[in-house]
Structure 1
Amino acid sequence: MPIAEVTVIPIGTGSTSLSSYVADMQRVLKTVEGITYELTSMGTIIEGPLQRIFAAVEALHESPFAAGAERVSTSLKIDDRRDKPSTSRGKLESVERKLQVD
């Protein structure tokens, strides 16, 4: 299953604080079916079918405009592993297991 990391930065907001925009975007994600997501301090991890990830990213990108931002910069990274099932948690657990070997 594809895993994506998305960062959406509202620009032209009149304030250096963006947490209200981030909260709005998390509310928007609740309405997107077929995905799971996790907010991190620097972005959001989204897991699901590629088409649903793109729908979520589009909704996230539009959210700050709806809240009054004049400009939005969105960065997206996708890890789409097709040789075996993959999850964000599974990737972390793989590294943690390797750290325990040391």
Structure 2
Amino acid sequence: MAIAEITVIPIGTGSTSLSSYVADMQRALESVEGITYELTSMGTIIEGPISRIFAAVEVLHESPFNGGAQRVSTSLKIDDRRDKAGSSRQKLESVERKLQGE
């Protein structure tokens, strides 16, 4: 299973507020099967098989265009570890254990 962080920025929307676009993108993610996701203040974390992550990326990138944006900038980071299973939560717990002097 892979973990991705994606940030999608609609450009030229006529407003500095993008929360309505973000809400639309989160609604669009509901249609993508086989993933879990979490909205953060700076993007969205997606977990699942890499093929499903790419499907989610396409849905997210297209969503602002469907909402009237004429230009969209998308940044994507992928952590695809195949030697053992992992998750965002597991990664955070590993760091927390080290901070506690594991």
- Please give the TM-score of this superposition, normalised by the length of structure 1: 0.98
CA distance in 1: counterparts of 2:83 and 2:34, whole angstroms? 21
How big is the shift at 1:90?
0.3
Give the % identical residues.
Answer: 83
SS at structure 1 position matched to 2:100: helix
Superposed CA RMSD in Å reads 0.8
CA distance in 1: counterparts of 2:89 and 2:28, whole angstroms? 23
Amino acid at match of 1:56: A
How big is the shift at 1:22?
0.2
Deviations 1:33-73 (A, max 9, x none): 00000000000000000000000000000000000001000
SS at structure 1 position matched to 2:42: coil
Structure 2 spans left out of the alignment, 5+ residues? none
Q: How many residues align?
A: 102
SS at structure 2 position matched to 1:101: coil
Partner of 1:33: 33
CA distance in 2: counterparts of 1:82 and 1:31, whole angstroms? 26
Partner of 1:23: 23
- Please give the TM-score of this superposition, normalised by the length of structure 2: 0.98
Partner of 1:5: 5
SS at structure 2 position matched to 1:94: helix
How big is the shift at 1:28?
0.4
How big is the shift at 1:2?
0.4
CA distance in 1: counterparts of 2:86 and 2:76, whole angstroms? 18
